[in-house]
Amino acid sequence: MTRSLLPGILAMAAIVVASNILVQFPYGDWLTYGAFTYPFSFLVTDLTNRFQGAVAARRVVIAGFVAGLLCSLVGSQIMGEFGPLVTLRVALGSGLAFLLAQLTDIHVFNRLRDGSWWKAPFISTLAGASLDTAVFFSVAFAAALTFIEPGNDVSWAAEMKPLLGHGPALPFWVSLGFGDWLVKLALAAIALIPFRLIVSNFIKRVA
């Protein structure tokens, strides 16, 4: 079982590590490059679930969670311009969001796995990605949760600015989260292509 899970574990760990590195590099005003790699973690989870079931998928998720913890530990020891690259709130938000989102993805996928081929991967990713965005950005930046890490000044995230530069005035972290969520939605649709190709190729090989 462990050997058969190795490709999924390695793929998940690679995505998590790459995303933790790329999140340090901004892309425009509301995104980082990590926003374009992290959503593919749901593809890894869904493929593992499709081929090996929910138990295997959860094991892959735990491996990704451990990889994320290690990244947070390393990041907390690296000092940037405004303090450690990874603060307690960011580490807590990241880990909690990852676990809740991925486990939700697995649950929803299982409920829909016998329906049309695209429903399980797309809707489960949509549910998981939405939860991931809401949990991470709230825990990491919402003013109401300042008590988690009082010494961490995130007042910049609470500044009232137009949503994505054009909408109603909201805390800046809401624009960060909304932009991230839109990317996740787009990549959830794009990820259906490799999901379909990989599953179809597997079916042909075993037929």
- 3-state class (DSSP) for residue 171: strand
| pLDDT the model gives residue 95 | 96
Please list the residues that pair with 161 across neighbouring strands.
170
pLDDT in tens, the chain (207 residues): 455 899 999 999 999 999 999 999 999 999 999 999 999 999 999 999 999 999 999 999 999 999 999 999 998 888 777 678 889 999 999 999 999 999 999 999 999 999 999 999 999 999 999 999 999 999 999 999 999 999 899 999 999 999 999 889 999 999 999 999 999 999 999 999 999 999 998 877 765
| pLDDT the model gives residue 84 | 81
Pick the CATH number of 2-206 from 2.30.29, 3.40.50, 1.10.1760, 1.10.3470: 1.10.1760
Residue 26's φ and ψ, nearest 5 degrees, are: -65, 150
- Cα separation, 81 vs 88, in Å, equals 17
- For residue 185, give the nearest of 106, 105, 130, 109 by alpha carbon: 130
- Cα separation, 14 vs 26, in Å, equals 20
For residue 146, the 8-state DSSP code is: G
Side-chain-side CA neighbours of 11 within 13 Å: the count stands at: 18
Side-chain-side CA neighbours of 39 within 13 Å: the count stands at: 26
| pLDDT the model gives residue 127 | 98
Count the neighbouring beta carbons within 10 Å of the beta carbon of residue 27.
14
Map out the domains of the chain as residue ranges.
Answer: 2-206
pTM, 2 dp = 0.93
For residue 116, the 8-state DSSP code is: -
Structural tokens at position 131: 């939860």
- Cα separation, 176 vs 190, in Å, equals 21
- For residue 49, give the nearest of 66, 63, 61, 37 by alpha carbon: 61
Structural tokens at position 3: 């050997």
Structural tokens at position 76: 């907390």
∠ CA 65-69-72, nearest 5°, is 135
